[in-house]
Structure 1
Amino acid sequence: MRFNRLDLVRYGKFTDRRIEFPDARCDFHMVVGPNEAGKSTLRQAFFDLLFGFHARTPLDFLHAKSELRIAAAIKHDAGTLEFQRVKGNKNTLRAADDTPLPDTLLENILGTTSSEFFDKMFGLDHPRLVQGGNDMLKAQDDVGQVLFQAAAGVAGLGKVYEALQAEASSLWAPKKSRDRLWYSAQAQLDEANAALKAATVRTREWSEANERVQDLQDAAHAERERHQTLLIRRTQLERVRRLAPSLTSLIEYERALNELGAVIELPADAGAILASAELELAKTEQRLATHGVEAARLDNVLAGISFDRAILDARSEIENLEVLRHRYGAHAQNIQRYEGEVEALWKDAVDAATQLGWPSDLVGLQERLPSAPCRRHVEQLLHEHSSVVQALESSQRAVQARQAEIDTLSARLANLSVLDITPALRAALHDAMTLGEPEAAIRKADENVSAAQEELDRAMQAMGSGFTDLSHLAAVQAPSSQTVAGLVSQRLELLSDLKTANARYVEIENIVQERELAIRQYRQMHHPITKEDVWLARQQRNDSWQALRNGDVALAVGGPPFQQHMQYADEVADARLDNVQEAAELQSRQHQLESELLKREHAEKQCQALNAKLRRFDENWSGTCRDLGLPEMPVNQLADWLTQKDSALDAAYRLTAASQELETVLARQSEIRTSLRGALMATGLSVGEASSISVLRIQANDYVGASETGKARRDALTDQLAEARSMLLNLQQTTNAALSNMEQWQQDWSTALRKAGLPDDSQVASAESALSLMELISVKLQQIRQRRVEHIDVMRNELSVFADSAERLASLLAATERGGDPVQISRNLNARLTAARQAQEYAASVGQELDHIRQQIREAQDAILLAGASVRPLLEQSGSPDKESLRKAISRSDRYRSLVEIISATVARLLELGDGYTREQIQAEIEATDLTQLAAEMETLNADITLAASEQTRLAVELAAAVRDFDAISGTDVAARAEAKRQEALAQMANAAERYIKVYTAARLLRWSIDRYREQKQGPMLSRAGEIFSQLTEGSFERLAVDFDREPMVLEGVRSNGSRVAIAGLSDGTRDQLYLALRLAALDLHLQKAKPLPFIADDLFINYDDARARAGLQALATLSQHTQVIFLSHHDHLVDTAKSVFGKDMNIVLL
């Protein structure tokens, strides 16, 4: 199947975009576009067209999902088909007229190909190319895995196999480890059994333990009460010791307060107020006297100051006049300097005018000087003169050179001869070129036959002597791989059950032996009397008595034995009554032994049943092998035998194919040799009768090369001659245009000279010199005008305004300098202004200081009044007539306040540290205690408390141990928990066994599939992949080989010198090329047995240089002869490379 056309009606960024894929010998199509041009969208379109839209396709960013539509025209074995694919839940296939088509329409064309298989086998892009190379590196020691991954396009197969092996190892392995789930569960089972055995309760031990717990609890309670009493007494003594000093101090403070008597309470800061008022009053009186003297002095100074107020009123005008004096001070000198510059400029202008023959007066110069536009026009023509002359001369030289070239080419073309090539010779040479290396092809085909025969012999030898006939071997009907896997899994499950049952039997047998040993040891240690022992002693006594009573034995003879038997029976009965506890324990142990014996019997029966079941399975399998004609073998060896069988049949098929290929090669080469030899002889060449195809091909290539070289040379000379004649015509036109430009310049030059006042016959150099002098005169006149107008006239006006202002101010202020120098007037007025300003500032400063002194005098008077007012309330409150009496009243008030505060603080401290007691209770407790014996009593009490605490600790430890022992035998859920853990461990072991069988079987099947693929496909696939790999690496590697001496076998690249390089030794780019070679070889083998489908390649050669990219395209060219190849790329430089491989007519689609 191939695509003839693809219509992106509404899909992704495309709307009504049609892409044609015309049929050709090499069915290769290149789609080129920049990034985000839509190549990835186009690649996805092929998948959506063939297999339907994804439910959540992201390509609805421009068109709604319901509007997405793709159309195509495809060619297949039955003809052509045009259809459409729309987005929907059903009826997504439509005819060209939009009528629904059945969804199964494409199944006949695609066969069993699914979307996943199509993507892996017929699709390849750069990321998957890199990923495939990396996966080959990880699986470098496993040839089967490398081939399987590359052929199937499956990445990460090694990770899957390793994960299965790792999971199986984590479940079970022959080596015991707690990290494995089976052995972990087994250890948990052993712990649960041990806990279950230990969970036994005895009456006497329970009573003793309970009684001990009660006794220890009573003792601990009594000791805690005694300890509490001692702590209370120590707390009381510590309180007395802590509070006795404070209570004594409190009594002394209260006595002092009573002795003080009645006191008038004054404010707490009364003393500070009195001292502050006295201090402030003394300082204020001193300041008042000092300020009065200073105020009188300042009044005298202020009366003696005077200044000129008229000068101060004209202050701004005087200051402005002074500014102008400084600004215009250099004007007189500048005016003289500018007048000198004007004279020098005028001299330069007169000199230039003299050279031109012009008048030397200003008016005459201005009349004779041309205007600026006129001078610019002459200057422009001067600049154009050299370019016009140069263009004319260069065009004339070019015409002469081109004419000489045309004459030379015409002579060479007339002397050239060309050979003709017949179509028959071209066809025969093309067929011979398609053979490649004929001798190598024959050797290779013969080697393939030999290799196939050897492979068949090895495969038949591996089958054994029972199978020598291939037809018999092919007729064998073996079970399917699923059936084999099920049988292997079933037998593994039986073996696992049998192993588990045997382990269980061994475990129970060990328990029985342990029980029997424990009973023997118990008998030896305690000698318990059982009920059977009492019955046996009594039976002997009864037998002796019966013999005496019946007269069977005489009294003298039977009397002593009877007496011994009766005494022994009484002793045994008494001993049993005395040792009833040991007898019960022995009986319990015997019951446990009987239970374990019953379990052993059950486990033994289970082992026998499983052994019988396994034997029946093996017998049934042997019968199945006989029925199917298979050799008898274990079922787990059947998969390997089937692989050998398939290898033998495949080897036979390859032998037949290799033989047919050898015959085809020989016939094809003979036919091509005959036709090529005849075509060469028809051209008149001498051809040997026994010449090989290679010799004939060389002769034909030389002849064709000579002919093509002659034709190419003739075509090149013809093209050059036509191009030279065309260029000569253009050059002649250019020369005529240059002559026209020269004539026009001459006319413009004469006109410009007349306007400039220059002679018509003036040369370019003289005109250029005259133009320079005119420009100099214009510049000098402009500079003279600028200095007179912008500088000299302006400064004279400014000096006149300054003199007028100075005279006006002098008249206004009655200055003596009127009519004098304005500069001196300005200086004198500024000096008078400075003196008046200084006098005014001094008077203001003295006035401010006098105001400040007067303000301080008023503040001192207010402070004297305020100090007296602050003391008056204290005098009235204390009833004191003067300040001395007030000072004594303040002292008594402060003493009273201090005692009250101390007493309050002491009482508060007593209550705070008195543990909630009142003052009266504390005082009574202290008075009742002998303080002299307090220290000795405290020491004795602390020793008693320490002993009580130690005793409490000892009793607590013993009580905890007793409670722990009691809890251990008081009917806890230990046995239930142990049984639950036991069942949980059994369930875990069962789950681990079931999961291990599944994982182990899956790993074996995957390994078997990989090995089978390697054995079936390794030969032809490696051969084809080696050819492609050699082509991709430009001969750097000659072929691919397998190192059979390594285990597992290793895939290696063989260089031309015979050296081998493993996958790990390849560079990243070369490893990608190896993966591409394996994929193309696998696809080639697949196309030999299946219907061809288009191969979609996306940017495979991103990291390739031009040479290797060409080699890759050549490999795709070979593939395109068997199936359609659509190559997507965003590298437009590959277009030229592709054209060199596929020809200029190859189909290129630009996005």
Structure 2
Amino acid sequence: MRFDHLNIRAFGHFTDYELLFDPSKNFHLIYGPNEAGKSTTLRSITHFLYGFPVQTNDAFLHSNTKLRIEGLLKKANGQELFFARRKGNKNTVLDGNEKPLNEELVNEFLNGITKEHFLNMFALDHVRLREGGDSLLQSGGNLGESLFSAASGISMLRKVFEDLEKKSGEIYKKKAQTPRLNKLLKEEKELAKDIANCQLKIQAWKDLERTFTESKKKIEDIHQQIKALRSEQEKLKRIKEALPKMAKLREVTKKLVELGEVPNVPENLEGLREAAQSKQNNAQNYKQRAKQDLVELEDKLMKIKIPEGLIEQASLINDLYLDLKNYQDNLKKLPLIQGEYKLLEERVLSFMKEIDSLQAGLDNIDLFRLSAEKKETIRALCKDQPLLEQKFENNKSALRALDDELQLKQEELAKITDLPDIHELENVIDIVKRAGDIEGNIQKLEIQIEEKKNQINEKMRHLPLWTGTYQELVELQIPRLMETVKKFEKERIDFLNSLQTTQKQIKFQKDEIEKHYERIAELEELAEIPSDDNLQRVREHRDKGWKLIRTKLQEGSLDEQAEAFTKGQAIETVYEDSVRNADHVADKMRIEAEKVGIKNKLLTDIEKFKKNIADLESVELVTEEELDKWEEKWKALWRPAGINPLSPEEMREWLEKHTQLKELVQNLKNDESTLQSSFEKKLHMKQALMNVMSKFVVAKDNQSLDELLMIAERYQKKINGDINNQNNLQDGFKEIKRKMENLTTVKTEIKEKMNRWEFEWAKAIEGTHISETTRPTVAESLLNKYEETIKAYDELQKVVNEQISLREQISYFENRVKELLQVAPVQYDEQHFDLVVNRLNADLQQATRDNDLFTSLSEQCENLKARIKKAVSEWNEAEETLNGLFKLAQCDSIVELEQIERNVQTKKEYESKIIEIEEDLLTHGNGRSLQDIMEEAKQIEHDSIELDLEEIKRKLEDLEPQRSQLEQEHGVVKKEYEEKILGNNTASVLGEQKKESLLAQLSNLTEQYIQVKLATALLQKGIEHYRNQNQDPILRRASEIFSRLTLQSFAGLSVDYDEKDQPVLMGVRDHGDKVSINGMSDGTTDQLYLSLRIASIERYANENEPIPLIVDDILVHFDDTRSKETLKILLELSKQTQIIFFTHHARLVEIMKEIATDSTYQITEINSNVPLNV
């Protein structure tokens, strides 16, 4: 795809500004100075393809609704798409007929590329170029990232990875405390523990629950009694209120029956009767008034008289009356025309006499007419004569001036002596200049070497564990593989983590033992709880006493052990006490069986914790021994280098600093080698200059190369100036000779033209009153006299024609009046035709008015007759209506009909009243039917209703204090019940609700964490896939471009592997040395990124429909040499895809003209849409 043209109709400060892209060229350099509108044009391309943004700063001249950009896109297969883009919310793409166009057609031409993808991949400026170079540095030259970044245009790819890693770390990090997910996990664990502690214990609330249930049952019973009494109370009140309404209903029903039978007539009977009577009265009155009006109109008709035949001639009279003004004007104008004719005749004769008095007469007018050709010929010859004379004089002056200049050139040329040959000197100067600023480079290298030495010494001062020189440091035998250090680091972390975990577990076991002892103390606060060991001890003490008693019974005496058992008391007493004590302990254990079980469980757990502590302390000891062995291996690893290492983390940082120092030392050696080569090159160039200069000027050994070059160039410039001066004089001499020959030829041609003019002059004046000796100025004056004569004669002829026309019009008008008078019904005086026409017109107007009045009065009479007939008809219709009403009401007069109307109204009122009472009863009947309400009232003794209500009221007043007392007592129990039971459950429920909220947050954060991690993995996988698919072709082409952009400072690119065995990009010098991305300058990294970018675009264009590359001043940091090479590469790229290069640097326009022909590119200056090289 390519742009064929872009028309900025209304955008920014542009109005109807068109950019034409030559279809035969694919590289378009668009130049414009600052503030010319380059940035606006760039934005217009993006807005044209993808639409205007919601907010734009380009609507300061044209309003938002007027913004518009048009253009023509063309595919490689020749398919074209013209469309216009306007600002709006929908239908923003229009075709050539201003009709909406489907946006998908534009997307198809763009290969479905989004706006962001287009800006990243196919739009490049110096900022994106610098960001791309920085991205290469940040990635350390990682091959996959470098290729993907250049191909996609995402310059800060490493920052994307860092942002993803930072975002995932903010959500969750292993063994950390502050990330949000870690905090929520800890909070959820603590909440689960709190919920478990809030579980209710059964034994504490059995009695409370029983009391609560019983009191609740009593309250429900008394509520049922109160409810029944209130229901009966409401029923009696309802019947009490309904009794008067029922009595009223019976009374109205009785009146309705007494009214008797009423005819079935319409509800609006009274209205129908009154309307019919009113209609009869109105019809009668209207009929009488119409008859009176009819008599008056017929009298007026009899008085109107119209002359016969006058109206039939109305058309002719009107036409004459319209032409009357013209007739009167013509009568006045005729004498004036005759006077004008006399004046013009005298003027024509006067002109003719001035030219030729002998032939002055109107009959000879044709002798004074000259053809247009003859007049124009004479005028042209009059103009040519002075011009020819002037040319002849100018030619003579120019020949004299050239002859003088020729003499001066000959004298100057004779003064110039023979000039020396300086070709050898020029060759040596060219060789020295192509070698570049050698002395400047030497100075820069010396500064760089000193800076690098200072940098190395500075880094050495900050490198711990080393006090030797940097030369010894780079030769030091240290662990080379970073993975080895990482392995030791991991082992140390594992040992420390294991040791820390073991110590935490020991502390946990000890804390649990302490908590268990505290729990046992809580159980024994009110009374000591015996354990199985206590029971075993008291039973053993009891059994020991029995054995002593049995021994005494068998042997008759006690042994020495009895003294220790009895402690001086009677054996029987001591034994009885031991039996009672054993029974007491056993009873105590039976009574406190639950607490005994808890205590035994706690004691068992304590023993288990103690065993666990012993096992964990053994593990702790083994781990400490393993950590000591690890430390010995770690020190042994560094012993060959004589270094007592710090921790692996610190030594990994130490190794990185060591690697950086080695690279700096290697760069220092490279610079020192380059410096030595530069010194040798300088001496060689200096000697070559001195050898060749010795032939022309004196050169000193102590002069620098730059000074020698300046002297040589100055001498070269002087000799070349002399040569140029000599050549210019010789060329000027030849040019003067050529000009003199040309002037001599021109002089001959002028003489020939003057002879030809004299011949044509004699021929042109033949047949006129101009002689051959008459001067051209006099001849021109005579021509004007001829023209004035003919012009005056033509005006005279117009007056004659106008006089004839006036007379014909007057005669025509008078003849028409005469014809009218022959057929008119009246006679008139024919001497003054204008008065006759006025009189006829006045009579016609009066006759017309009378005729219109007669017609109008006749129509009114007819209307009155029709209205009288209609009134009679309406009276009859009303009579029929009244007869129909009599029949319906079964009566014969208006009086009877009016009485029936009153009966109908009374019946209607009774029926409405009955309905109203019944609806009122139903409304207050609590959903009962009217029949049920009546039956319910019959079952009640009406006179005892008041007494029943008083009894119910008394009972309710007795029950209410009982209910209040019970509810108060129940409220106390309920409060305790809820506090001890429902309170814990509420805490559990609230805890569960909070836990659900935490789990929802955990789910959300976990999903976010997975998304971020997946995004990182997918991006990495995409980068690796792109690298595997495109590494070889893109890297091969990028290597060639990179070598050219760096002016062969680098031979190309290669792939190496870092300490993580990851492929990285390396620059390759001519001698094979490899330079990492970190070792390149900013300018070089920019050139590397540009190389990769161009190679990626070439590959895309080869495999897809090409997309134009939009470039905006990417060469601002490039010198002229690199700018030339870059433009050459872009010209090559333009063979595959269109390139639109914007710049405000005039120097790039000059460079473009130096490196390419007009047929390969197009230059257009903004605000001047004419290409500069067209």
Fold in common (TM above 0.5): yes
Choose from 1072, 1083, 1108 the match for 1:1076: 1083
Q: State whether structure 2 residue 336 is matched by structure 1 residue 342.
A: no
Question: Displacement, 1:283?
Answer: 3.4
- Tell me, yes or no, if the aligned pair for 1:381 and 1:749 is still in contact at 8 Å: yes
> Helix, strand or coil for the counterpart of 1:478?
coil
C-alpha distance after superposition, 1:632-675 (max 9, x if no partner): 45333443343344345445544544444444344333333333
Structure 1 residues 473 and 292: CA distance shift in structure 2, 3 A: closer
Q: What is the rounded CA distance, in whole Å, between the counterparts of 2:196 and 2:864 in structure 1?
A: 112
C-alpha distance after superposition, 1:810-869 (max 9, x if no partner): 121253326432222212222222232233233333323332332332233223322222
> Helix, strand or coil for the counterpart of 1:306?
coil
The aligned residue for residue 888 of structure 2 is 877
Give the alignment of 1:971-1010 within 5 angstroms: none
> Helix, strand or coil for the counterpart of 1:682?
coil
Question: Displacement, 1:272?
Answer: 1.8
Q: What is the rounded CA distance, in whole Å, between the counterparts of 1:198 and 1:581 in structure 2?
A: 20
Q: What is the rounded CA distance, in whole Å, between the counterparts of 1:1147 and 1:497 in structure 2?
A: 76
Choose from 700, 706, 709 the match for 2:718: 706
C-alpha distance after superposition, 1:325-363 (max 9, x if no partner): 234231112233333333333333222222212544322
The aligned residue for residue 572 of structure 1 is 585
- Tell me, yes or no, if the aligned pair for 2:1111 and 2:1140 is still in contact at 8 Å: no
Q: What is the rounded CA distance, in whole Å, between the counterparts of 1:1118 and 1:844 in structure 2?
A: 105
Choose from 681, 689, 694 the match for 1:681: 694
The aligned residue for residue 378 of structure 2 is 378
- Tell me, yes or no, if the aligned pair for 2:287 and 2:871 is still in contact at 8 Å: yes
- Tell me, yes or no, if the aligned pair for 1:541 and 1:566 is still in contact at 8 Å: yes
Structure 1 residues 426 and 257: CA distance shift in structure 2, 3 A: same
Structure 1 residues 788 and 320: CA distance shift in structure 2, 3 A: same
Give the alignment of 1:1033-1072 within 5 angstroms: none
Give the alignment of 1:935-950 within 5 angstroms: none
The aligned residue for residue 127 of structure 2 is 130
Structure 1 residues 901 and 756: CA distance shift in structure 2, 3 A: farther
Question: Displacement, 1:873?
Answer: 1.9
- Tell me, yes or no, if the aligned pair for 1:353 and 1:777 is still in contact at 8 Å: yes
> Helix, strand or coil for the counterpart of 1:324?
helix
- Tell me, yes or no, if the aligned pair for 2:530 and 2:596 is still in contact at 8 Å: yes
Q: What is the rounded CA distance, in whole Å, between the counterparts of 1:168 and 1:616 in structure 2?
A: 34
The aligned residue for residue 256 of structure 1 is 255
The aligned residue for residue 829 of structure 1 is 840
Structure 1 residues 499 and 183: CA distance shift in structure 2, 3 A: farther
The aligned residue for residue 788 of structure 2 is 776
Structure 1 residues 743 and 942: CA distance shift in structure 2, 3 A: farther
Q: What is the rounded CA distance, in whole Å, between the counterparts of 1:323 and 1:1103 in structure 2?
A: 83
The aligned residue for residue 310 of structure 2 is 311
The aligned residue for residue 190 of structure 2 is 190
- Tell me, yes or no, if the aligned pair for 1:230 and 1:945 is still in contact at 8 Å: no
> Helix, strand or coil for the counterpart of 1:262?
coil
- Tell me, yes or no, if the aligned pair for 1:875 and 1:882 is still in contact at 8 Å: yes
> Helix, strand or coil for the counterpart of 2:891?
coil
Identity %: 13
Answer with 356-365 or 555-564: which moved more.
555-564
- Tell me, yes or no, if the aligned pair for 2:129 and 2:1114 is still in contact at 8 Å: no
The aligned residue for residue 513 of structure 2 is 512
**Which residue identity does 2:585 align to in structure 1?**
V
TM-score (normalised: structure 2):
0.68
**Which residue identity does 2:649 align to in structure 1?**
N
Structure 1 residues 523 and 416: CA distance shift in structure 2, 3 A: farther
**Which residue identity does 1:771 align to in structure 2?**
L
The aligned residue for residue 799 of structure 1 is 810
Q: Which runs of 5+ in 1 are unaligned?
A: 1-11, 15-32, 41-57, 65-122, 1003-1027, 1030-1072, 1085-1097
Structure 1 residues 484 and 301: CA distance shift in structure 2, 3 A: same
> Helix, strand or coil for the counterpart of 1:265?
coil
C-alpha distance after superposition, 1:208-249 (max 9, x if no partner): 687578668867875786686578557756865886665454
Answer with 348-357 or 562-571: which moved more.
562-571
- Tell me, yes or no, if the aligned pair for 1:202 and 1:969 is still in contact at 8 Å: no
Q: State whether structure 2 residue 773 is matched by structure 1 residue 766.
A: no
Question: Displacement, 1:127?
Answer: 2.2
> Helix, strand or coil for the counterpart of 2:765?
helix
C-alpha distance after superposition, 1:776-834 (max 9, x if no partner): 12222222222332x33223222212211111221212533264322222122222222
Question: Displacement, 1:898?
Answer: 3.1
Question: Displacement, 1:548?
Answer: 4.8
Choose from 648, 665, 668 the match for 2:681: 668
- Tell me, yes or no, if the aligned pair for 1:150 and 1:1075 is still in contact at 8 Å: no
Q: State whether structure 2 residue 1103 is matched by structure 1 residue 1103.
A: no
- Tell me, yes or no, if the aligned pair for 1:875 and 1:886 is still in contact at 8 Å: yes
**Which residue identity does 1:272 align to in structure 2?**
G
Give the alignment of 1:652-1051 within 5 angstroms: 652-683=665-696, 685-789=697-801, 791-817=802-828, 819-904=830-915, 906-907=917-918, 910-911=921-922, 914-926=925-937, 928=940, 964=982
Q: What is the rounded CA distance, in whole Å, between the counterparts of 1:383 and 1:946 in structure 2?
A: 142
The aligned residue for residue 268 of structure 1 is 267
- Tell me, yes or no, if the aligned pair for 2:324 and 2:834 is still in contact at 8 Å: yes
**Which residue identity does 2:648 align to in structure 1?**
V
Structure 1 residues 988 and 190: CA distance shift in structure 2, 3 A: farther
Q: What is the rounded CA distance, in whole Å, between the counterparts of 2:448 and 2:849 in structure 1?
A: 129
The aligned residue for residue 171 of structure 1 is 172
Structure 1 residues 345 and 862: CA distance shift in structure 2, 3 A: same
C-alpha distance after superposition, 1:515-540 (max 9, x if no partner): 32232233234532333333333333
> Helix, strand or coil for the counterpart of 1:754?
coil
Q: What is the rounded CA distance, in whole Å, between the counterparts of 1:938 and 1:401 in structure 2?
A: 151
Q: What is the rounded CA distance, in whole Å, between the counterparts of 1:190 and 1:291 in structure 2?
A: 109
Question: Displacement, 1:376?
Answer: 3.4
Structure 1 residues 389 and 608: CA distance shift in structure 2, 3 A: farther
RMSD (CA atoms): 5.6
- Tell me, yes or no, if the aligned pair for 1:418 and 1:710 is still in contact at 8 Å: no
Q: What is the rounded CA distance, in whole Å, between the counterparts of 1:225 and 1:963 in structure 2?
A: 28
The aligned residue for residue 281 of structure 1 is 280
> Helix, strand or coil for the counterpart of 2:773?
coil
C-alpha distance after superposition, 1:192-217 (max 9, x if no partner): 34545665x75535856875786688
Structure 1 residues 1139 and 720: CA distance shift in structure 2, 3 A: farther
- Tell me, yes or no, if the aligned pair for 1:476 and 1:629 is still in contact at 8 Å: no
Q: What is the rounded CA distance, in whole Å, between the counterparts of 1:1117 and 1:276 in structure 2?
A: 110
Q: What is the rounded CA distance, in whole Å, between the counterparts of 1:623 and 1:427 in structure 2?
A: 66
Question: Displacement, 1:894?
Answer: 2.3
Give the alignment of 1:44-63 within 5 angstroms: 61-62=76-77
- Tell me, yes or no, if the aligned pair for 2:236 and 2:949 is still in contact at 8 Å: no
Q: What is the rounded CA distance, in whole Å, between the counterparts of 1:36 and 1:193 in structure 2?
A: 80
Structure 1 residues 711 and 231: CA distance shift in structure 2, 3 A: farther
Question: Displacement, 1:1075?
Answer: 4.4
Answer with 470-479 or 285-294: which moved more.
470-479
**Which residue identity does 1:257 align to in structure 2?**
L
Task: Count the aligned residue pairs.
Answer: 951
The aligned residue for residue 326 of structure 1 is 325
Q: What is the rounded CA distance, in whole Å, between the counterparts of 2:230 and 2:733 in structure 1?
A: 133
Q: What is the rounded CA distance, in whole Å, between the counterparts of 1:871 and 1:781 in structure 2?
A: 101
Question: Displacement, 1:257?
Answer: 0.9
Q: What is the rounded CA distance, in whole Å, between the counterparts of 1:538 and 1:336 in structure 2?
A: 174
**Which residue identity does 2:600 align to in structure 1?**
Q
Question: Displacement, 1:38?
Answer: 4.3
C-alpha distance after superposition, 1:1030-1074 (max 9, x if no partner): xxxxxxxxxxxxxxxxxxxxxxxxxxxxxxxxxxxxxxxxxxx99
**Which residue identity does 1:1114 align to in structure 2?**
T
The aligned residue for residue 1150 of structure 1 is 1160
Q: What is the rounded CA distance, in whole Å, between the counterparts of 2:24 and 2:368 in structure 1?
A: 74
